[in-house]
Structure formats: structure tokens, C-alpha cells
Homo-oligomer: A and B are copies of this chain.
């Protein structure tokens, strides 16, 4: 009998935690696990206590006719530290330099495993900002933005680089990008479901912040509010950015011809329990 309960607890844990942010219905759970609702309630209490004790997340209960439970994961610092160090090593590997002096990083930015962890970090940073959508501009910030949206349990909004006929009426904005030193544009379909929403803007690299600033301006034309800006890597130079606030996971200080130094920022060190000798 006890063995039966133990097996049920394993299944219950997996079912609930595999759908973060989703309300899992109690009636369906009791049918699926073939157990009375009263027993299920006791089981849920134990799962909740255990997850909290081990720092593995929280379970919220919703009462009423459509009663259910929702799992909210929490950040696990140990694997985060490993991913942070490995990412720095990969990013600053000299063989990433192209003959023209660019850095080939597309593979890193599309490394799902790395970006999932980085998305968890940004989500943790903006957990209390009541974010309804994560927005990014195509293309290389998409995996990070999706990972962050997953961790915040919200959907994503994509700003396009060009104005596409297939999206119907769109609003566009032109701006000066520091990285390419030329006029760039971004646009968003009028139909995009962001009106009046609270958005987190996410991108891969930030130099002066022109892209983030343009996104804020464009989205405000939709009545949407950018409540935060999160980037993977912020260049230390220029130190004056055109956005007022942003949270970078890494800061990159270039040094002459060399790769310079990439370091996690202070809030990341705190979340990951990072010690300087690492």
C-alpha cells in the first residue's frame, strides 16, 4: 500500500512539474491516477512540501469547481554555473573570429541547451514584473526569448526586420544600429496581440541599446509597455546606453585586438551563487 502511494507520488510529481504555469485539473488527475480526491489532496500537500524543502519550486492551489494546481519552477544554481562558465569559454574561443574580424556566434545563440538556462536566468530576474509577453526582433535572439518566455510561462511576440505583405498592415520604425553602423528597421503587424500588454524585450547583444530603444518606441505605439530589457551580452563600451535600464547576463570588455574579458554580471552571480575564482 505504501509502495503504491510512493509510485503515485512519483507520477503526480512528473505530471504536475512537466507543465509549468499550466493549471492541472484535480478531477482529471484523480481519474488518471485512479485515486479519490481526498487522497489526492494529501498527496499534493506532500509534493508541495517536498518541492519547497528541496528548493525545487512551488505549487499554487486553485479552489472552486474547476479546481487545480499550478507548478512554478525555481532556479537550480549548480547547472547554471556550469553553463555560464562553458558559455564564456565557447564565446571567447579565438577560432570564432572570421578573417573580417567578426565573431561567428550563430551556433551558440541557437544552442538550445545553453539558451534554455540563460532564459531561466532572465525569467528569474523579471519574475515579479508581471510580464505578459516576451518580445524580440528576428533572428538571433529568438532562442533566448523563447526560453525566457517558457520560464515565465508566457507567449512570444516577434518583431520583423522588414515589413511583410503577408502580415497585413504593420507599424515600422527606423533607427540607427551601433553594431552595423547603419539604418535598420523593425516592424510589427497591427494584428499582433500585444495591445495594452506588459512586455519584456529580449535580445542577444547590446552595444549602445539602439535596438532595444527602437523596440520600446514601436511597442508603445501599440499601447504596450516594455517593463524590462534583458540581453545575453552587453558590451561595456559605450558605457552610455540609450536605454535607461537593462539587465545583461554577461558584460564583455574588449581589449585592443584580443577577445578581452566576458564576465557574468552582479545579479547573475548572486542568482547562480557564483564565486569569483571560477
Contacts and interface: CB of A to CB of B under 8 A. Distances in A.
Interface string A191-235: 111000000000000000000000000000000000000000000
Nearest to A191: B104
A178 interface: no
Contacts of A19: 79
A47 interface: yes
Contacts of A110: 155-158
Interface stretch (A163-171, A252-260, A263-271): A163-171
Contact of A102 (B28, B57, B146, B168): B168
Most buried by B among A7, A32, A79, A169: A7
Given A112-B155, A139-B139, 19 more contacts: A2-B2, A5-B6, A6-B9, A6-B46, A14-B17, A14-B57, A15-B56, A17-B17, A98-B167, A102-B168, A104-B166, A104-B168, A104-B191, A107-B192, A107-B193, A112-B156, A113-B155, A142-B142, A143-B146
A46 B10 contact: yes
A129 to B, nearest CB: 18
Interface residues of A, number: 67
How many copies make up the complex?
A: 2
Interface in A8-22: 8-11, 13-15, 17-19
A105 to B, nearest CB: 9
Contacts of A100: 165, 168
A245 to B, nearest CB: 25
Nearest to A57: B14
Contacts of A96: 191
Contact of A167 (B13, B104, B149): B104
A18 B17 contact: yes
A85 interface: no
A111 B10 contact: no
A113 B79 CA distance: 25
